[in-house]
């Protein structure tokens, strides 16, 4: 019974010990680094850090600049924030499609009839590539002559 418990326990402890090995000691280097900034850590204390090291898209180290610079290697891309703020891991997926690119946006606010809307669309289609999106905006059905 002891042997049955010892082997899985030994394997578990060896795995945990390996996972706790500092990455710097194992030759781990950051792909990129942000230094000299205000890094918002979003930890329970809402603390700020000076620098962050990133490897394979994950935070490798965060803290004081000197401590984080230990993870720099010859190919590490270092960005000096010059006191600016960074929030690592923040992804803003909110987007107003019409604001993405004015090329695809068709302003119809000056149209006063359905025929004018249709003409504006035809004109834009003629200038667009096949399959290219066109998004009309700004029309007001109440201001069209047909009121629809």
Q: Please report the pLDDT score of residue 90 as a whole number.
A: 72
Q: Please report the pLDDT score of residue 9 as a whole number.
A: 47
Average pLDDT rounded to a whole number, residues 21-27: 43
DSSP state of 21: S
Asked whether the predicted pLDDT for residue 58 surpasses 50, the reply is yes
Kindly indicate the confidence band of residue 1, based on its pLDDT and cuts at 50, 70 and 90.
low
Asked whether the predicted pLDDT for residue 97 surpasses 80, the reply is no
Q: Please report the pLDDT score of residue 112 as a whole number.
A: 95
Q: Please report the pLDDT score of residue 43 as a whole number.
A: 86
How distant, in Å, are the alpha carbons of 39, 63, 91 from that of 52? Answer: 7, 7, 17
What residues does CATH 2.30.40.10 cover in the chain?
2-86
The CATH superfamily of 2-86 is Urease, subunit C, domain 1 (2.30.40.10)
Kindly indicate the confidence band of residue 17, based on its pLDDT and cuts at 50, 70 and 90.
very low
Q: What does the block give as tokens for 71?
A: 């993870």
Sequence-ordered strand ranges (E) for 45-102 = 48-49, 51-55, 58-63, 77-80, 85-86
Q: Please report the pLDDT score of residue 87 as a whole number.
A: 87
Question: Strands 77-80, 135-137: parallel, antiparallel or unpaired by DSSP?
Answer: unpaired
Distance CA 28, CA 53 (A): 11
Average of per-residue pLDDT values in the chain = 81
Residue 38 has, within 13 A of its CA and on its CB side, a CA count of 5
């Amino acid at each position: 019974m002891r042997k049955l418990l010892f082997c899985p326990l030994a394997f578990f402890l060896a795995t945990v010990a390996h996972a706790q090995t500092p990455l710097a000691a194992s030759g781990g280097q950051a792909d990129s680094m942000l230094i000299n900034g205000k890094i918002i850590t979003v930890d329970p204390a809402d603390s700020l850090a000076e620098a962050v090291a990133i490897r394979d898209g994950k935070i490798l180290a965060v803290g004081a600049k000197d401590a984080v610079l230990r993870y720099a290697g010859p190919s590490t891309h270092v960005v000096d924030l010059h006191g600016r703020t960074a929030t690592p891991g923040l992804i803003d997926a909110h987007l107003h499609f019409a604001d993405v690119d004015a090329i695809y946006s068709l302003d119809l606010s000056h149209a006063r009839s359905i025929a004018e809307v249709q003409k504006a669309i035809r004109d834009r289609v003629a200038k667009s590539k096949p399959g290219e999106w066109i998004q009309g905006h700004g029309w007001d059905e109440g201001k069209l002559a047909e009121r629809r």
